[in-house]
Amino acid sequence: MDPLSPDILERLRAASQAARTHAHVPYSHYAVGAAVLDDQGAIHAGCNVENAAYPQGWCAEATALGAMLMAGGQRALAVLVTGPGPDVITPCGGCRQKLREFGDDDLLIIAADPTGIRQTWTLGQLLPASFGPDHLSPQRHPPQGLTPCRAPPRWPPIAATTETAQRLQALFGAAPAVAVILGSGWGGVVDHLQDAQQVPYTELPAFEPTGVEGHMGAVVVGRISGQRVALLAGRRHTYENNDCTGMAGAIRSLKAWGVQVLVQTNAAGSLRTHMPPGSLMLIADHINAPQCSPLVGEPGNARFVDMGAAYDPALRAHARALAAARGTPLPEGTYLWALGPQFETPAEIRMFAAWGADAVGMSTVPETILARHAGLRVLGLSLITNMAAGLSHEPLTHAATLAQAQAAGDTAAGFLAELLQSLDEGTLASMP
């Protein structure tokens, strides 16, 4: 029996679409249907059922599996999931594991919308660390391979990203061309905004709250001398919950809203004596020291992102020209992402310097990967708040980092405000 034969695909699609019409979705209004093919050739359908107590709801895949069990089916070969479109949806993490209970890694996951079939994966592609009944045999062990810095990724549902983009549109109108993630020391640029409006991250479904002192946790939209810009006042760090996908929902929502450019800012420690505390550095490249990626497990070929020019050359040239015109030193350098939250040891800093790093920090790299995957152009700026471990006699503390960031914040915010003012749509359109 071939689950991909035209006859079976059509039966699955029709059953899934019919089930979708019965979905109980009074809260999200996002109706989903699913149809499961068992190993006897029977098809069992289900729809999503929402509940005011969110965790008590049922996904369409779960109700379809329930229908299969009620009919006596024991083994699933394929599941076709139909959403409203245009976004392609896949089973959530919980449903992927439920499917693994009744199928193997070769179980087919077929995504569709009312217009037809959109994309196909295997369960193993969507759930690379799957765990099923066969792993409970004494001869088998749970799958290994998740390193300490790579917790299972938790991508936000596409529905949450779509809803967030719609909320941003309703609150602020059309998206500005440029959005900025504000790291420590860069928050003063908010004071340069006119007609500022804001919404906390907690009111945006795809945004995760921040848990670090100095990060406000809000989207602020306004104008700098007529140029509209969106400021993300704070970011989620990998060290907060061992997950490097914390900014995935925010960045994908910005793209869905219509943003074209993401400006990344951070506070960093310097590995070079020509960049003392208070300096600015233009990020030319980065080193992903933990080798953690927010794209691990992401389906499809788009996950193989070219990072050869992750920090846009034309945007960097524009920033250098602006700095030269205003007499602001802006050396370029390579930023190294260290997982944290502890500061680095002097031995680690010596190793990082040998690798070619010029500055070190605990953010930015996952967001750059996510932004490039989403198709956003990226510009990166570091505010140097300290010399790295072993390069000065000062002890490293978060309080000292914040204090130095505040002391140099006016310089950083002033340059950033002027840079944002210069990035109008005409200038961006003229860049290669």
Catalytic residue among 215, 286, 318, 373: 215
Q: Give the pLDDT of residue 65.
A: 95
Instruction: Answer yes or no: is pLDDT of 240 > 90.
Output: no
Q: Give the pLDDT of residue 6.
A: 82
- CA dist 404 and 419 (Å) reads 22
Catalytic residue among 216, 242, 398, 403: 398
Catalytic residue among 386, 387, 405, 417: 386
pLDDT band at 214 (very low <50, low <70, confident <90, very high): low
pLDDT band at 365 (very low <50, low <70, confident <90, very high): very high
Phi first, then psi: what are they for 204, rounded to 5°?
Answer: -115, 115
Q: Give the pLDDT of residue 53.
A: 67
Q: What is the mean pLDDT of residues 54-71?
A: 87
Catalytic residue among 129, 240, 284, 392: 240
pLDDT band at 141 (very low <50, low <70, confident <90, very high): very low
237 is catalytic: yes
Nearest to 16 by CA among 96, 69, 89: 89
Output the average pLDDT for the chain: 87
Q: Give the pLDDT of residue 148.
A: 43
Q: Give the pLDDT of residue 156.
A: 62
240 is catalytic: yes
184 is catalytic: yes
What's the pLDDT tens digit per position in 101-120?
999 888 999 988 888 888 88
What's the pLDDT tens digit per position in 376-411?
999 999 999 999 998 887 777 877 777 777 777 788
Catalytic residue among 184, 253, 266, 293: 184
Catalytic residue among 30, 60, 62, 239: 239
Q: What is the mean pLDDT of residues 43-48?
A: 95
What structural domains does the chain harbor?
A: 6-136 (3.40.140.10), 158-430 (3.40.50.1580)
Instruction: Answer yes or no: is pLDDT of 132 > 60.
Output: no
Catalytic residue among 35, 363, 374, 387: 363
242 is catalytic: no
Q: Give the pLDDT of residue 81.
A: 94
398 is catalytic: yes
Catalytic residue among 44, 237, 318, 373: 237
Catalytic residue among 362, 374, 389, 413: 362
Q: What is the mean pLDDT of residues 263-286?
A: 95
pTM to 2 decimals?
0.66
What's the pLDDT tens digit per position in 152-203?
455 566 778 889 999 999 999 999 999 999 998 898 999 999 999 999 999 9
Instruction: Answer yes or no: is pLDDT of 137 > 50.
Output: no
Q: Give the pLDDT of residue 54.
A: 58
386 is catalytic: yes
Q: Give the pLDDT of residue 56.
A: 64
SS3 sequence of the chain:
CCCCCHHHHHHHHHHHHHHHCCCECCCCCCCCEEEEEECCCCEEEEECECCCCHHHCECHHHHHHHHHHHCCCCCEEEEEEECCCCCCCCCCHHHHHHHHHHCCCCCEEEEEECCEEEEEEEHHHHCCCCCCHHHHCCCCCCCCCCCCCCCCCCCCCHHHHHHHHHHHHHHHCCCCCEEEEECCCCHHHHHHCEEEEEEEHHHCCCCCCCCCCCCCCEEEEEEECCEEEEEEECCCCHHHHCCCCCCHHHHHHHHHHCCCEEEEEEEEEECCCCCCCCCEEEEEEEEECCCCCCCCCCCCHHHCCCCCCCCCHHHHHHHHHHHHHHCCCCCEEEEEECCCCCCCCHHHHHHHHHHCCCEEECCCHHHHHHHHHHCCEEEEEEEEEEECCCCCCCCCCHHHHHHHHHHHHHHHHHHHHHHHHHCCHHHHHHCC
Name the percent of the chain lying above pLDDT 70: 91
Q: Give the pLDDT of residue 428.
A: 87
What's the pLDDT tens digit per position in 303-345?
999 999 999 999 999 999 999 999 999 999 999 999 999 999 9
Instruction: Answer yes or no: is pLDDT of 61 > 50.
Output: yes
Catalytic residue among 159, 256, 267, 405: 267
Instruction: Answer yes or no: is pLDDT of 212 > 70.
Output: no
362 is catalytic: yes
Instruction: Flag the least confident range among 55-59, 233-237, 317-321, 336-340.
Output: 55-59
